[in-house]
């Protein structure tokens, strides 16, 4: 019988063995195609709505299109200039012709604004030169003399250095501005005057307030997660619903409730004054400052700390602690030596999650942060909506995205590693 079986299966298997791999590949390819088709709509959506704008934003943070677009002759004339002394006559002629052209289509303002961002005072120079050259009926014999006559700045180095620099189609200047640096008149990199320094301070404030918020959520979330994880399942589910309840409430509603609670004539202050703990004149400022941002963001982000902690703790059976205690360890010691080390991956996950979310937060600091509780994202929004300096906004956003990305990779490493050790 055994011989029969071998004979029966041996033939076809041998005959088909050459195409077996090919058939497997074909079958797998079909499966892969199916899976790909299922994810295709999402893929298209993510590409169009997320990846393209992201790449666009990164491009915007280094893009420098104004001068190459509106002063093409200047760009080509300066391409061979070494920048050591004043450029030759043909560069003067190129500038004049470019400005004349821009004057005709009323675009010299764009050039003026772009250059003025780099070197204050240039606005007047460009406007004046555009008007004067634009009205000339005939070209003068010597553009250099003509321009220097219009404004003697054309006879000095800084404007030419600036034009040369701005001729490049990309620029690191937005990044310099994002870290409170600028170009000096000679093109060297230097710090902006102290009163203009805001971004480094904001980055640092965003980082330390996010750290503080993360620590607070950990301090509040760890005991809570521990307590819930030691409950019987039905009660634990109920408690988790309570933890997740904020997710089902609009963020704006929650923030508004906090404003009601914390404002100077709000619930908390009224209770403090009513109970005599503080006098009416000395109502503490609980909102529209750093404190407000910290209080509200801690509450808003708490679930993101509790969830990973809870899921880690849930996987630690009671018997670990019991075993440690039965061996003579005081419950505290058992906790520190046995339970706490096993929750490290949960702590790492929760801390990084809250910190990542925190450094990018916008709406909460905007509504309850006042002046001192602003985050970097509020400044990005300002540059997008008010000052319309999209390049700077893009540079700030790219820096924030890069930091987040690094933290996220760290998060992946920690949770990935955690799975291996716990499992």
Partner 1 sequence: MTQDHNGAFVEFDRVQKTYDGETLVVKDLNLKIGKGEFLTMLGPSGSGKTTCLMMLAGFETATQGDIRLAGKPINAVPPHKRGIGMVFQNYALFPHMTVGENLSFPLEVRSLPKSERESKIKRALDMVQMGDFINRRPSQLSGGQQQRIALARALVFEPELVLMDEPLGALDKQLREHMQFEIKHLHESLGITVVYVTHDQGEALTMSDRVAVFDDGRIQQLAPPDELYESPQNSFVAQFIGENNKLPGTIEEISDGKAKVRLDSGELIDATAVNVTSKGQRTVVSIRPERVEYRPELLPAGAQTIPAEVLEFIYMGDIFRTRLKVAGSDEFVIKSRNTQGQARLKPGEKIQIGWAPQDARALDAL
- Residues within the interface to partner 1 (CB under 8 A): 317, 319-320, 322-331, 333-334, 337-338, 341-342, 421-423
Q: Which tokens belong to 277?
A: 């703990």
Taking the least distance from each CB to partner 1, the nearer of 253 and 323 is 323
Buried b / exposed e along 330-361 (16+ C-beta atoms within 10 A): eeeebbeebbeebbebbbbbbbbbbbbbbbbb
| Minimum distance from residue 218 beta carbon to partner 1 (Å) | 20
Q: At how many degrees (to 10) do helices 344-359 and 199-229 cross?
A: 140
| Minimum distance from residue 41 beta carbon to partner 1 (Å) | 41
Q: CA 275 to CA 218: how far, in whole Å?
A: 31
Q: CA 382 to CA 376: how far, in whole Å?
A: 10
| Minimum distance from residue 30 beta carbon to partner 1 (Å) | 38
CB of 185 closer than 8 Å to CB of 120: no
Alpha helices in 230-250 (DSSP H): 233-244
Taking the least distance from each CB to partner 1, the nearer of 12 and 328 is 328
Taking the least distance from each CB to partner 1, the nearer of 5 and 327 is 327
Q: CA 231 to CA 217: how far, in whole Å?
A: 21
DSSP β-bridge partners for residue 407: none
Q: CB neighbours of 311 closer than 8 A, spacing ≥ 6?
A: 346
Among residues 119, 192, 114, the alpha carbon closest in space to that of 157 is found at 119
| Minimum distance from residue 329 beta carbon to partner 1 (Å) | 5
| Minimum distance from residue 314 beta carbon to partner 1 (Å) | 15
Please tell me the number of Cα atoms within 13 Å of 2 on its side-chain side: 0
Taking the least distance from each CB to partner 1, the nearer of 284 and 341 is 341
| Minimum distance from residue 328 beta carbon to partner 1 (Å) | 4
| Minimum distance from residue 335 beta carbon to partner 1 (Å) | 12
Alpha helices in 71-184 (DSSP H): 72-78, 89-104, 108-118, 122-135, 143-150, 157-167, 173-178
| Minimum distance from residue 418 beta carbon to partner 1 (Å) | 11
Taking the least distance from each CB to partner 1, the nearer of 274 and 331 is 331
Q: CA 87 to CA 98: how far, in whole Å?
A: 16
Taking the least distance from each CB to partner 1, the nearer of 201 and 333 is 333
Taking the least distance from each CB to partner 1, the nearer of 319 and 386 is 319
Taking the least distance from each CB to partner 1, the nearer of 207 and 422 is 422
């Amino acid at each position: 019988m055994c011989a029969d079986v071998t004979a029966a299966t041996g033939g076809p298997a041998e005959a088909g063995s050459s195409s077996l791999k090919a058939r497997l590949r074909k079958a797998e390819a079909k499966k892969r195609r199916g899976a790909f088709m299922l994810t295709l709509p999402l893929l298209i959506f993510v590409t169009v709505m997320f990846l393209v704008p992201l790449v666009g934003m990164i491009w915007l943070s280094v893009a420098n299109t104004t001068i190459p677009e509106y002063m093409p002759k200047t760009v080509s004339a300066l391409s061979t200039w070494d920048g050591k002394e004043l450029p030759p006559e043909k560069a003067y002629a190129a500038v004049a012709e470019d400005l004349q052209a821009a004057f005709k289509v009323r675009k010299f303002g764009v050039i003026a604004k772009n250059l003025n961002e780099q070197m204050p005072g240039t606005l007047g120079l460009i406007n004046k030169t555009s008007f004067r050259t634009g009205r000339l009926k005939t070209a003068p014999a010597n553009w250099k003399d003509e321009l220097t006559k219009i404004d003697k700045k054309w006879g000095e180095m800084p404007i030419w250095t600036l034009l040369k620099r701005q001729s490049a189609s990309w620029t690191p200047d937005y990044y310099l501005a994002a870290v409170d640096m600028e170009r000096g008149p000679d093109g060297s990199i230097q710090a902006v005057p102290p009163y203009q320094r805001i971004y480094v301070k904001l980055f640092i404030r965003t980082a330390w307030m996010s750290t503080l918020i993360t620590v607070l959520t950990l301090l509040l979330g760890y005991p809570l997660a521990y307590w819930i994880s030691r409950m019987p399942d039905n009660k634990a589910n109920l408690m988790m619903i309570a933890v997740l309840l904020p997710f089902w409430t609009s963020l704006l509603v929650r923030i508004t409730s906090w404003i009601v609670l914390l404002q100077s004539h709000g619930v908390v202050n009224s209770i403090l004054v009513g109970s005599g703990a503080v006098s009416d004149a000395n109502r503490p400022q609980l909102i529209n400052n750093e404190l407000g941002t910290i209080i509200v963001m801690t509450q808003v982000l708490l679930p993101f700390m509790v969830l990973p902690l809870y899921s880690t703790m849930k996987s630690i059976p009671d018997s670990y602690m019991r075993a440690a205690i039965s061996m003579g360890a005081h419950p505290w010691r058992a906790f520190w030596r046995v339970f706490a080390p096993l929750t490290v991956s949960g702590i790492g996950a929760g801390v990084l999650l809250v910190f990542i979310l925190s450094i990018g937060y916008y709406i909460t600091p905007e509504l309850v942060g006042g002046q001192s509780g602003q985050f970097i994202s509020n400044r990005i929004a300002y540059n997008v909506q008010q000052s319309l300096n999209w390049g700077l906004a893009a540079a700030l956003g790219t820096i924030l995205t890069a930091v987040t990305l690094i933290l996220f990779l760290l998060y992946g490493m920690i949770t990935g590693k955690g799975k291996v050790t716990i499992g």
